[in-house]
């Protein structure tokens, strides 16, 4: 009997399971209901009294050896699961495929940030507009020749409903609903019936600015735009104002910034003039203030409007405006590192 236990003890100590399934078989074989240990304990009764002590000790030793083997096997298989599943959990994660903001959104956000710092709020208006907000209130009555400056898409042959041709329509809505002091910036999409080319599109984006208060002067306009140009294009940037005409401002001007490529020396980007046109502006015409319910005898103000595509083209040296609308990831991915 004692010999039988010794044989089993050798068997157990030399046993090495290859996988958790084998280990479980081993457990059943020895410790299961019909297992070898139960047989031995059953045989214990038959053992003569004088041998009981030695036999009991041998049995306990065997049981302990079995338990040790089970514990050892369990621990080693749980360590191995990481390797055997083929996963290395200590490897650094691969970077997520992050998208990037569209360059036009980047530029719009930057313009908004720059004006936010000097107290401008953001406002929006509808893209489908009526004649009053897009034209008439802005000092462009019916048949006014300046309406031809912007080729308009009308909706369903209704000459009163159109796709806004500029974000100046938002100034009208804002003044109708707010009294001065007004400092607001209105970014948005605009539409014009134009042939698509490297320099023009039938859909594009503008930002409109409006500042109305007591004693707002042309000098305030100039200083505000100089601040914007320096923030947007760099500290060394200079601006130049040229007299111009817009029906909704008097006097009106077009604003150029010194070319950020050649620093004003002349290159093919600025066509050797040293300057690039970026926006239109002027003092809000008293008629416009009146049309919008603001007393022109008490208040004055300035307005400006710029194309976001134009600013983005200058800032990122993009030569073809159509790239902004094609959504080619090879183009868009180049703006990944900018926020």
> What does the binding site for ligand DAH look like in residue numbers (CB under 6 A)?
166, 168, 208, 246, 249, 280-282, 303-305
Residue from 281, 137, 140, 278 nearest 209 by CA: 281
Cβ-based nearer residue to ligand DAH, 264 or 282:
282
Respond yes or no on whether the N-terminal peptide bond of residue 62 is cis (omega within 30° of 0): no
| Burial per residue of 276-303, b for 16 or more beta-carbon CB atoms within 10 angstroms, e otherwise | bbbbbbbbbbbbbbebbebeeeebbbbb
Residue from 310, 61, 63, 84 nearest 201 by CA: 310
Q: How far is the CB of 118 from ligand DAH (least distance, A)?
A: 17
Cβ-based nearer residue to ligand DAH, 168 or 291:
168
Q: How far is the CB of 167 from ligand DAH (least distance, A)?
A: 7
Q: How far is the CB of 249 from ligand DAH (least distance, A)?
A: 4
Q: How far is the CB of 202 from ligand DAH (least distance, A)?
A: 14
Return the residue nearest ligand DAH (CB atom). Answer: 305
Going from the C-alpha of 314 to that of each of 150, 231, 233, 255, the distances in angstroms are 23, 14, 9, 14
Cβ-based nearer residue to ligand DAH, 187 or 305:
305
Cβ-based nearer residue to ligand DAH, 303 or 314:
303
Q: How far is the CB of 92 from ligand DAH (least distance, A)?
A: 51
Alpha carbons 214 and 297: distance in angstroms, whole number: 10
Q: The tokens 């603001």 sit on which residue?
A: 294
Residue from 16, 65, 71 nearest 36 by CA: 65
Cβ-based nearer residue to ligand DAH, 138 or 232:
138
Alpha carbons 214 and 131: distance in angstroms, whole number: 29
Alpha carbons 169 and 120: distance in angstroms, whole number: 18
Q: Which helix (H) or strand (E) holds 171?
A: helix 168-177
Cβ-based nearer residue to ligand DAH, 172 or 270:
172
Q: How far is the CB of 239 from ligand DAH (least distance, A)?
A: 15
């Amino acid at each position: 009997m004692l010999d039988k236990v010794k044989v089993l003890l050798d068997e157990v100590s030399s046993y090495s399971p290859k996988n958790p399934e084998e280990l479980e078989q081993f457990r059943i074989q020895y410790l299961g209901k019909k297992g070898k240990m139960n047989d031995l304990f059953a045989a214990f009764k038959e053992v003569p009294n004088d041998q009981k002590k030695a036999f009991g000790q041998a049995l306990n030793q065997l049981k302990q050896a079995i338990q040790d083997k089970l514990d050892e096997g369990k621990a080693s298989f749980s360590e191995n699961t990481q390797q055997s599943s083929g996963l290395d959990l200590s490897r650094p994660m691969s970077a997520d495929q992050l998208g990037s903001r569209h360059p036009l959104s980047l530029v719009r956000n930057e313009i908004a940030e720059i004006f936010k710092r000097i107290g401008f709020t953001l406002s929006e208006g509808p893209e489908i507009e009526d004649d009053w907000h897009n034209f008439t209130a802005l000092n462009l009555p019916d048949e006014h020749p300046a309406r031809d400056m912007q080729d308009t898409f009308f909706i369903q042959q209704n000459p009163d409903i159109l796709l806004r041709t500029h974000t100046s329509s938002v100034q009208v809505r804002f003044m109708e609903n707010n009294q001065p002091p007004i400092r607001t910036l209105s970014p948005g999409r605009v539409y014009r019936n134009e042939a698509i080319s490297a320099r023009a599109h039938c859909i594009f984006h503008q930002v409109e600015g409006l500042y109305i208060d007591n004693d707002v002067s042309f000098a305030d306009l100039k200083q505000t735009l100089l601040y914007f140009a320096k923030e947007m294009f760099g500290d060394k940037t200079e601006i130049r104002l040229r007299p111009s005409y817009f029906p909704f401002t008097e006097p009106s001007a077009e604003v150029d910034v010194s070319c950020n490529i050649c620093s004003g020396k002349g290159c093919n980007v600025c066509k050797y003039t040293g300057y690039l046109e970026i926006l239109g502006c002027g003092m809000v015409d008293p008629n416009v203030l009146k049309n919008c319910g603001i007393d022109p005898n008490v208040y004055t103000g300035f307005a400006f409007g710029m194309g976001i595509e134009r600013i983005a083209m200058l800032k990122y040296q993009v030569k073809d405006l159509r790239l902004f609308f094609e959504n080619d990831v090879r183009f868009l991915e180049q703006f990944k590192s900018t926020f």
